Amino acid sequence: MKAIVLVGGFGTRLRPLTLSRPKQMLPVGSVTMLERVVSRLASHGVDTAVLSLGYQPDAFIEQFPDDICAGVKLVYAVEPEPLDTAGAIAFAARSAGVDETFIALNGDVLSQIDLSALVAAHRDFGGSATIALTQVDDPSRFGVVPIDDTGRVIEFVEKPEPGTAPSNWINAGTYVLEPSVVEMIPKDQKVSIERQTFPALAAAGELFAVQSDGYWIDAGTPEAYLQAQLDIIDGINGSGESLVDATSVVAQDASVDRSAIGAGVVIEGGAQIVDSVIMAGSTIGAGSRIERSIIGGGSLVAPNTRLSDLSVVGYGETLGVGIDAAGGIFPGPDDWNV
């Protein structure tokens, strides 16, 4: 089976980390976010993944020069301009010649949704599209999907006002689609699958959904991106794995607690790293404390620095001596040049 992976977004919520690369190229442990997503596809029999590209497409092509990721063949479909979710799926399907039932999913979602069961349910339903659903406490940021007792979608409510949602089961960003869905999407036009395509399919009785209690996280914000790594360390997503790279150097009197430490990272004497992500090639100066924060690759954090409360440091940054920041952003928005 083929899958289309949506990876064309600008990643604005994860700036400044995404100023120099797409968010799916950010590391989650020792591999990129995309590799985690594609590896999951591979475990359910997907042999070809079509990447729907937009923002910085060369980053993907350079990362996988053999066009193979996690054992899956990659095909690239580069949008000439942003086409929104349905437009991007249709463009990628047409570009790659996808003409059978296929999976489509967001490339910034890490999950344990049973894709094989989702495909089987789709075939049993006999409809045009089947959506995986996940349950959240606050559905107002998502597409809410109430269903009847047969699994048929009653309506598709995109980002309802707080307190008005008809359900807390939301669109998990993973779909099984028939080629007929592609045919109904106009060529080379901006079309939202959440606001246009799915509501039209629901009205026609052709949209179904499956509720899933498997692990799920949209890793597109700093808080969620950090949490995704902590969930791997804690065994909430998977069986638990160390995300401290073997090539990192941690001083004897430094400490690393519940954190992801990339290749070649240096943690100098007396530094404390707690619930954080330190990407490859960065150095954390002596006596610093980095707590619940994210340090981009190749950055230099001077001694005695204090970062906490989702502070984010971009790639290749240098932080001077004595910075004490809670929720700090380096560089700040005024220096983003976007």
What residues are annotated to the active site? Answer: 159
Measured CA to CA, the distance from residue 322 to residue 16 in angstroms comes to: 21
Residue 323, judged by CB atoms within 10 A of its CB (0-12, 13-18, 19+), counts as: middle
Peptide bond into 331 cis (omega under 30): yes
Three-state DSSP class for 205? coil
Residue 13, judged by CB atoms within 10 A of its CB (0-12, 13-18, 19+), counts as: middle
Amino acid at 226: L
**H helices of the chain, where?**
33-42, 58-63, 84-96, 115-125, 179-183, 198-203, 222-234
Query: Which are the contacts of 111, defined by CB distance < 8 A and separation ≥ 6?
Result: 40, 134, 172, 174, 214, 215, 216, 217
DSSP state of 268: -
Measured CA to CA, the distance from residue 79 to residue 167 in angstroms comes to: 34
